[in-house]
Amino acid sequence: MKLTRRNALALGGAAIAITLVPVNAAFAATDATLADIAAFTGGAEVGEGGIELTTPEIAENGNTVPIEFSAPGARRVIILADGNPNPGVATFNFSEMAVSEGTTRIRLAGTQDVVAVAEMADGTYTQVANSVKVTIGGCGG
C-alpha cells in the first residue's frame, strides 16, 4: 500500500479509535484481580451498567474506607481492591428477601481502583470500578 495522504489519515483515525476503546471498556486491572473476577464469574463475559459503587474520591486513612454499592436484582456481589496485596475484599450473597445493596468499610494499601462485580438474577455479570486516592495506606507496613 502506498502511503498517500488519504491512507495516512485513515490509519491515524484507526489508531485513535484503538487507543480510545480500552479506556471506555475496562480499567487496567492486575492479573490477580482478573483471576479473582474470573473465579467469581466462571469465565463468563462481564458487562457494564446495573451496578453502582460509591467510594470517596480521596481517602485520608486507608485503614477504613467507606464503600457502598447498589446492584438491583443481583444475587452475588464481589468487592475487589485492585492495588492490595490480595485483591479480595468481600463477597455478598443476597436472598430474595434482601435488597441487593450493601455498605461496609475496607482497607486500601494505596491509591488504586476498587472494583465491584455483580451476578444478576439472569446469570449475567456486570462490573464497575472507581479510583480512590489514598493518603495513608492501610496495610500496617
Binding to another protein (CB under 8 A) within 60-119 occurs at 63-65, 68, 81, 84-86, 88-95, 97-99, 101-108
Binding string, 111-140, against another protein, x = CB under 8 A?
Answer: ---------------------------xxx
- Say whether residue 52 binds another protein (CB under 8 A): no
Binding string, 12-51, against another protein, x = CB under 8 A?
Answer: ----------------------------------------
| Residues belonging to the chain | 141
Q: C-alpha cell of 64?
A: 477504613
Give the whole-angstrom CA distance, residue 40 versus residue 139. Answer: 24
Q: Are 109 and 84 in contact (CB under 8 A)?
A: yes
Q: How far apart are the first and last CA of the chain?
A: 57
Minimum distance, C-beta of residue 35 to another protein, in the bound complex (Å): 14
**Single-letter code of the amino acid located at 77:** V
Q: C-alpha cell of 132?
A: 480512590
Summarize as ranges the residues that interact with another protein (CB under 8 A). 63-65, 68, 81, 84-86, 88-95, 97-99, 101-108, 138-141
